[in-house]
Amino acid sequence: MYKSTLQVAYPFIFHKEDNGGYFIESVDVQGAYTEIHENNISQGILLAEEVLGMTLADLIESGEDIPNPTPIENIKVENGFVNMITVDVEKYIRDMTLVKKTKS
């Protein structure tokens, strides 16, 4: 059963690098990027999900609005591809709250 109202999907660009890996960045969420050093797309998707969740949770906790995702059909990429990354941001907000309580 779907309960979260914070489940979102954003397009990420996977830019092919000369070393065989990918630089992976969000089209819409500034600061949401990662990279993989080999051609392991599934690992890249997991890393992109994690960075998206942490970045959006940080925006929400700072009182900032989260951006609207760009429609995937509006994104053009020459050396790579676009993939939608889905994340339940609520999970990352809870995780961040637990870390902050533990540190204080």
- Per-residue pLDDT tens digits for 60-93: 989 999 999 999 999 999 999 999 999 999 998 8
Taking CA atoms, 56 is separated from 18, 33, 77, 93, in Å, by 30, 12, 24, 9
Listed by start position, the domains of the chain span 7-103
Express each pLDDT in 8-60 by its tens digit.
999 999 999 999 999 999 999 999 999 999 889 999 999 999 999 999 999 99
Is residue 6 very low, low, confident or very high in pLDDT (cuts 50, 70, 90)? confident
Instruction: Tell which residue, 61, 63, 66, 62, has the closest CA to residue 7.
Output: 66
- CATH topology for the 7-103 domain: Double Stranded RNA Binding Domain (3.30.160)
